[in-house]
Structure 1
Amino acid sequence: MQNTIYGLDLAKRVMQLHWVDWETGEIHRKQVRRGKLLEFFVNREPGLIAMEACGSAHYWARELGKLGHEVRLIAAQFVRPFVKTNKNDAADAAAIWEAVQRPDMRFVAVKSVEQQSVLALHRVREQLIKIRTMRINAIRGLLYEFGMDLPQGRERGMKEIPGALTELEGKVSAMALDTLRQQLKRLGELDKDIAAIEKRLLLWKKDQEDVVRLMTIPGVGLLTATAILATVGDMKSFRSGREFASFLGLVPRQSGTGGKVRLLGISKRGDTYLRSLLVHGARAVVNFQINNRNPWIDKLRSWRPHNVVVIALANKIARTIWALLAKNRQYDPNYSPKVGVAA
């Protein structure tokens, strides 16, 4: 007997189900409230449940997996082409049911609680950095209105702010200066919060051998290594290093017709956060080439623009990460792939 396939459209309160009875061919559509979803599936034979990889999808995937069902997550952009006419919950559930049966469909790996916990730290840290940057720029702009020109850069600017406020005493109203000093104090609190998150990631790293191995790659630090492990999980889900680089949007877009294919700029698909970490790491390696010569980078810099070299190195780092995790290897800076010799 073939296992039943369910298309499940998630929502905050009311879920929509779509499935077909394989014996009778009858199409079923059913709305299930959030609190009754697990109760519905616990009384049914194990089947295949497909969902969009949206908010709370990983939680439901873990819970339904505990009941013996096979769960597959599909990226929303792969479901949209199967939606017929108007978009509604029933049409979405039917589209998910249709999409999961495509033989070439790609799925999103279900994240564990630990993976999502680490990603939560990264998301909070990223948000705090954005808030800190906005606050520094706001203070810089306000002081500029009073004739104070602060130097560029966060650290240099922060060192100059207290002196600028002291210099403005007697020239600017006390209420404005007190408000700016209060904002400066909050910047210090943001720095402490960001440092605390990084300390927690550092403690988690000690128990993760894979993180330690990844950090031996030039351009890969604590943030990049922990974010990759928390996002990807099992690297063997990618068939090659190029597929992993493509997942990160570090390969060229293609545009072609009539047998002619043009390679454009990088696709920028996939996880923006991971891609930015890899690009920043690659940029740091390229910028410090004077002290640590790398023939591959030097040769590329001789005929390609600086930013192109950075992206190329980020792509290479992504492939190296895949090789280390998928094949359980240690990083070797002198490694060169073996080339087969034709008989």
Structure 2
Amino acid sequence: MPHYAALDVSNRETAIHIIDETGATVWRGKRASDPEVLTTTLRRHAPDLVRVGLETGPLTPWLYHTCKALGLPIVCLDARHARAATALQRNKTDARDAETLAQLVRTGWYREARVKSFAAHAVRHLVGARAQLMGVSIDLSNRIRSTLKTFGPMAGKGMGRTFENRVCELIDGRPTIAAIVEPLLAAWRVVRDQVLVRDRQLVAFAREDATCRLLMTCPGVGVIVATSFTAAIEAPEYFRHSRSVGAYLGLTPAQHQSGEVDRSGGITRRGDRLMRTYLFEAAASLLVRVRQESTLQRWGRALVDRMGFKHAAVAVARKLAVVLHAMWRSKTPFQAWPTEMS
């Protein structure tokens, strides 16, 4: 008899629930959150396993790819979609969640989520580590500026080496302020050095990757945007239409329709938040800094006049995502004056 199973994963233990084709429970229990242990348990209690599901989560890439390599028919369920079913439970437990997910897997009432490869995750986490280090660097520099301002000296608007030299000049001969600022400045130097290391790694990756070099022909798109986009999309064939990329990255308007009510609001903000941020920055750069004129820039600047800069930049960010995917799929460099925009 066909069997279906689901895993409710936590850091140490995973709740397992196995059912048959009628929905009756065959076996349930908990095992260590280890791919080999889970695979062995499922094969022992479900010899005719058709499908096993688990939700998206921090451990999902490791469990999914390892279990799949071990021959397990595993699928990844979109957690937001599955939550609609698990939220109906009066008493929420891991065992009940696993049972609900197993029923979803059996009936097919779930939305499958694509799990990126380890290589894509490595690039994504490298970009994320750089972004976090940049945030720490900015926080430290702001704390230094705030401390100096309390006692009168102003660090000014300089960055990098200029900022460091200026701070050193201001604390020279002021031991009270130096005792506070010097540890912060030392930490700032270390973080900045690590940011530069991450930058060199990303530049080296972009130079060796033909797709990144292709995407960087688009104005406003640099190393960070190109590497982030390739990691987020992974392969252009995953999207049948380029315009779907905007929705995947949460750059399309949210819509609510019920009966006679039909309204649209701001963007959905689904998907990769960091990628969405970088696309917005690329769009802002295209509208303000890029000197090379193009159809995309002209279209964006017309939107600025009509709806304001922020709304126009979001629209251009969505268009950039569409254009980058189309370039990648067709392996064609950016065309400033195409005959027809996507």
In the superposition, the TM-score normalised over structure 1's length comes to 0.87
Deviations 1:210-256 (A, max 9, x none): 11111112222211221222233233323323322112111111133
What runs of 5+ residues in structure 1 fail to find an aligned partner?
Answer: none
Rounded to whole Å, the distance in 2 between the matches of 1:91 and 1:326 is: 43
Amino acid at match of 1:9: D
Q: How many residues end up aligned between the 2 structures?
A: 333
Q: Look up the match of 2:253.
A: 252
- Deviation of residue 55 (structure 1)? 1.3
Q: Look up the match of 2:271.
A: 270
Q: Look up the match of 1:15.
A: 14
Rounded to whole Å, the distance in 1 between the matches of 2:210 and 2:181 is: 45
- Deviation of residue 307 (structure 1)? 1.1
Amino acid at match of 1:12: N
Amino acid at match of 1:74: L
CA shift in 2, pair 1:87/1:327, >3 Å: farther
- Deviation of residue 181 (structure 1)? 2.4
Between 1:4-13 and 1:278-287, the stretch displaced more is 4-13
Rounded to whole Å, the distance in 1 between the matches of 2:231 and 2:225 is: 10
Rounded to whole Å, the distance in 1 between the matches of 2:21 and 2:97 is: 21
Rounded to whole Å, the distance in 2 between the matches of 1:212 and 1:102 is: 44
Between 1:214-223 and 1:250-259, the stretch displaced more is 250-259
What runs of 5+ residues in structure 2 fail to find an aligned partner?
Answer: none
Q: 1:131-210 residue pairs with structure 2 within 5 A?
A: 131-152=136-157, 154-155=159-160, 157-166=163-172, 169=173, 172=174, 174=175, 176-210=177-211
Rounded to whole Å, the distance in 2 between the matches of 1:24 and 1:124 is: 44
Q: Look up the match of 1:119.
A: 124
Deviations 1:100-144 (A, max 9, x none): 456574322222221222122122212211111111111111101
Rounded to whole Å, the distance in 2 between the matches of 1:164 and 1:181 is: 11
Rounded to whole Å, the distance in 2 between the matches of 1:74 and 1:205 is: 32
The correspondence for 1:71, drawn from 53, 74, 81, is 74
Q: Look up the match of 1:241.
A: 242
Contact 1:210 1:325 survives alignment (8 Å): yes
Q: Look up the match of 1:217.
A: 218
Rounded to whole Å, the distance in 2 between the matches of 1:160 and 1:338 is: 48
The correspondence for 2:83, drawn from 80, 83, 105, is 80
Amino acid at match of 2:60: A
Amino acid at match of 1:160: R
Contact 2:56 2:113 survives alignment (8 Å): yes
- Deviation of residue 260 (structure 1)? 4.4
Rounded to whole Å, the distance in 2 between the matches of 1:338 and 1:103 is: 38
Rounded to whole Å, the distance in 2 between the matches of 1:289 and 1:301 is: 15
Amino acid at match of 2:183: Q
Rounded to whole Å, the distance in 2 between the matches of 1:102 and 1:232 is: 29
Rounded to whole Å, the distance in 2 between the matches of 1:117 and 1:289 is: 31
CA shift in 2, pair 1:302/1:175, >3 Å: closer
The correspondence for 1:110, drawn from 107, 115, 124, is 115
Give aligned-pair identity as a percent. 22
Deviations 1:124-177 (A, max 9, x none): 2122111111111111111011111232464464453222223xx2xx4x2541
- Deviation of residue 74 (structure 1)? 2.1
Rounded to whole Å, the distance in 1 between the matches of 2:74 and 2:335 is: 38
Amino acid at match of 1:134: D
Contact 1:82 1:98 survives alignment (8 Å): no
- Once superposed, what is the RMSD of the aligned Cα atoms? 2.6
Rounded to whole Å, the distance in 1 between the matches of 2:101 and 2:325 is: 30
In the superposition, the TM-score normalised over structure 2's length comes to 0.87
